[in-house]
Chain A
Amino acid sequence: MQEETLVTIHDRRYLDLYRAALSGRLSRRDVLRRATALGLSMPAVAALLAACGGGGGGGDEATATMSGGTGTTPTTAATPAESPAASPTTAPSASPSGSPTGGATYTLETPPEVFNADAASQYSGQTITYYGDTVGIGGELDQQLARAFTEATGININIVPKPQSSTENYATYLRLFQAQSPDMDVMMIDVIWPGAFAQHLLDLTDAFREEAALHYETIIQNNTVDGVLVAMPWFADFGMLYYRTDLLEKYGFSNPPETWDELEEMAQAIVEGEQASNPNFGGFVFQGNAYEGLTCNALEWLASTGGGTLMDEEGNVTIDNPEAIAMLNRVRGWIGTICPRGVTSYQEEDSRNVFQGGNAAFLRNWPYVYALATGEDSPIAGNVGVAPLPAAEGFDHVGTVGGWQLAVSRYSQVPEAAIEFVRYMTSPQVQSYRAQVGSFVPTIPSVAEEAAVLEKMPFLEPMQDVVRVTRPSTQTGERYNQVSTAFFQGVNAILNGQDAEQVVPQTAQQMQRAAG
């Protein structure tokens, strides 16, 4: 859903800037300023900065620096990586060389070594068609990784850019699957699609038994349909709370809100104070428009207050309970008081603009906002904090899982080669590379703890213990969109003023009927 934001890039100007950065003509500071002027997304900017390396000399930093090595990037404290518990378990047993993954520092030009080259080389000469990231840094990383893979294995990768819009992308895959087309072997799958596409995807259970254990369990569960693993996690997204450190301090709050009560209290105090000088100040903004993003937001509200996770394992709708109704009515009460009235039509970028423009104290959004809100031209840079979303007293902090997986088509004529490609692409090494170069959030906990990754994404640390909640896409399969639409339309009607007592039972009924 946020992929539109991730991949919007003005190719030519970006490339020029990128070359300038690489040749060392610009300092990191210059690059950042120009990149934000171009409106580049976070991963793109991160790649540019990576290209800058230490801001110094020529192309010589285009070499992977293993930790403890010479360290051409002065910004990285090149100490071996370090949470002692994590590193020994990181290297997958599939890695024949047993190469250390614990703390490698990567640059764009030097993707990780293809550790499974020996196993994959037997399929040398075959060609894989891969529906990969569209433009910008995602597409560029794909090319780097594919080139490395081809050089090491002799397997050719034909990269097809997938449609940018999620809806369009979904329909494209559906048409290819319907035709049982062999023209698509490996493809990116949104976190809510495994259920819908399961019948067309290759069973990866045996091929990835060991690797699957490395990833967050919820995502593996999400990608497992009827006991069959159909997709490997590639990068993740989750909801988190951004807050204004300066405003919290100004109104005497020392910590970000732990509970929804605290958030309400803080937002109330800040709104009352700030509206004296800025009548348009809203305390808390989120994504309230009637679209998939609202399903993500509302799932967090319910799951963090004991209202359930929309559906149980058997596919029974669970939203018609007193906790859920109370929470939804509570959020309705926020609209026009601690939230701006217009929040019911906001999507990701609307809410980010309000927050980044200094018109809100709290924002619920995805990780991509971090780089933008802390960027040099952001009016609130230096005053942005990140925390887990609040929860009710006694409940876990939660965040809705987003993100993308890699899957293999059942109609592929080169499934073995495709599996080896996926093995390389979803490995801890590549995830670490993509995290450092492109700021893609890893789906492997031990990668998320690496020092080099944390340096790029410091917000990962406070988010470690957050419970990742998934939308009920496995239970609903190809009916997911229908179920989700019934849900977000109901929630949106509540936010726009209707009583949850009346709406929720109807919505639950519609969801159940949509689920079939």
Chain B
Amino acid sequence: MSGTAVEDKELAVPKRPRRVLDLAERQRRLAWILLLPTVAVVAAVALVPLGQTIYYSFTNERLGSLTPGEWIGLENYRFLVQDTTFRSAIWVTVKFTVITVVVEFILGLLIALVVNSNFPGRGPMRAAMLVPWAIPTVISAQMWKWMYHDVYGVINDLLVRLHIIDRNVAWFSQPSTSLFAIASVDIWKTTPFVALLLLAGLQVIPTDVYEAATVDGASKIQQFFRITLPLLRPAIVVTLIFRTLDALRVFDVFYVVFGNRLDTQTMAIYAQQNIVAFADVGYGSAISLGIFLIIGIFVVAYVTTLKVEQA
């Protein structure tokens, strides 16, 4: 679409060479010229692979096979809708997403409010809180795996010393605790990021609004719900969309901690397993598009319920 718009313009130029373009027209043209490299790059790195993935999902393409995949129509999708493993992967991922996004949002908002207020050492505090976010996930996941270890883990040691539990618990191994344990790893890592985004939102709220509210006799709680939250909505929307999409495609933390355990398999792990380990590019592509669709549903839900346009 963008390409044709530019071509039309260029074809039109030689016909009326002397015409003086008005300012708006010239700026529009300049905008397209400046956008062109970006559009080309996006097309090359995003649209082409996406198109390729869509094509593969209708074939039985295999990695390492000498014969190119054949067109098999909707076969992969027919299998996908009956695939109980994929269904359980969706369920695991959605549960993980809900737990982490809710907790991260609440904690992140609290932290943002705290570091937005004036107190001594605020600068170092803001820097320090970003440390978990700065550690690569593969490393922090391994670190937490050891901390949660059932024999020599520090978390068990502390809880036993504090008499909260009477003997060590295998947090990651027991199906009943594994999802919460892994959610805690993600919460620890990502809350600072949420806090940072919300802090940026808080800082653009002008202080005179609060002064006026105080003069009018509004309590702090009223100020929070009537002023802070509504004015923070753009930042909240961005934060929630970011975090939800991230959580829905979670891979690294689960991969490091659980490997390919069936009851903790996320959508992304299932797709990676099919494409890389099983070399089944066709079915893997169908799974990827399934993930794409599910993420799309979440985005649409957010955009409509949170009224992003008005935000």
**A344: which B residues are within 8 A, CB to CB?**
170, 173
Contact A291 B259 (CB under 8 A): yes
Contact B151 A178 (CB under 8 A): no
**A354: which B residues are within 8 A, CB to CB?**
151-152
A45 to B64, CA, bound (A): 37
Q: Interface segment, B8-16, B272-280, B285-293?
A: B272-280
Q: Does B232 sit within 8 A of A, measured CB to CB? A: no
Given that A341-B173, A489-B261, A496-B263 are known contacts, is A175 also in contact with B64, CB under 8 Å in the complex? yes
Q: Does A177 sit within 8 A of B, measured CB to CB? A: yes
**B64: which A residues are within 8 A, CB to CB?**
173-175, 177-178, 196, 200, 478
**B280: which A residues are within 8 A, CB to CB?**
482
Number of A interface residues in the complex (CB < 8 A): 41
Contact B278 A342 (CB under 8 A): no
What 0/1 readout, one digit per residue, does chain A (320-358) give for beta carbons within 8 Å of chain B? 000000000000000000001111110100100110010
Contact A174 B279 (CB under 8 A): yes
**A180: which B residues are within 8 A, CB to CB?**
66
Contact B151 A342 (CB under 8 A): yes
| Max chain B C-beta neighbours (<10 A), residue from A175, A347, A359, A482 | A482
Contact B279 A342 (CB under 8 A): no
Number of B interface residues in the complex (CB < 8 A): 32
What 0/1 readout, one digit per residue, does chain B (108-151) give for beta carbons within 8 Å of chain A? 00000000000000000000000000000000000001000111
Q: Does B82 sit within 8 A of A, measured CB to CB? A: no
A200 to B259, CA, bound (A): 29
Query: How many Å from the CB of A449 to the closest CB on chain B?
Result: 37
Q: Does A126 sit within 8 A of B, measured CB to CB? A: no
A341 to B173, CA, bound (A): 7
Given that A178-B65, A178-B66 are known contacts, is A345 also in contact with B151, CB under 8 Å in the complex? no
Q: Does A66 sit within 8 A of B, measured CB to CB? A: no
A341 to B169, CA, bound (A): 8
Contact A485 B172 (CB under 8 A): no
* Cross-interface CB contact of A485 among B62, B66, B273, cutoff 8 Å: B273
**B106: which A residues are within 8 A, CB to CB?**
none
Contact B263 A493 (CB under 8 A): yes
Chain A contacts with B in 480-495, Cβ cutoff 8 A:
481-482, 485, 488-489, 492-493
Given that A341-B170, A341-B173, A342-B173 are known contacts, is A280 also in contact with B152, CB under 8 Å in the complex? yes
Q: Does A108 sit within 8 A of B, measured CB to CB? A: no
**A350: which B residues are within 8 A, CB to CB?**
149
Q: Does A279 sit within 8 A of B, measured CB to CB? A: yes
What 0/1 readout, one digit per residue, does chain A (187-211) give for beta carbons within 8 Å of chain B? 0000000001001100000000000
A167 to B262, CA, bound (A): 19
Chain B contacts with A in 240-286, Cβ cutoff 8 A:
257-263, 273, 276-280
What 0/1 readout, one digit per residue, does chain A (280-320) give for beta carbons within 8 Å of chain B? 10100000011100000000000000000000000000000
A356 to B176, CA, bound (A): 29
Q: Does B26 sit within 8 A of A, measured CB to CB? A: no
Contact B277 A481 (CB under 8 A): yes
**A342: which B residues are within 8 A, CB to CB?**
149-151, 170, 172-173
Contact A174 B152 (CB under 8 A): no
What 0/1 readout, one digit per residue, does chain B (159-176) give for beta carbons within 8 Å of chain A? 000000001111011110
Given that A178-B63, A178-B65, A496-B175 are known contacts, is A340 also in contact with B151, CB under 8 Å in the complex? yes
A492 to B264, CA, bound (A): 11
Q: Does A171 sit within 8 A of B, measured CB to CB? A: yes
Give 10 closest A-B pairs by Cβ, nearest first: A174-B64, A342-B150, A342-B170, A341-B170, A290-B261, A291-B259, A489-B262, A481-B277, A345-B173, A344-B173
Can you name 15 A-B pairs with beta carbons within 8 Å? A170-B277, A171-B63, A171-B276, A173-B64, A177-B64, A196-B64, A279-B168, A280-B152, A341-B150, A341-B169, A354-B152, A357-B151, A359-B151, A488-B260, A493-B263
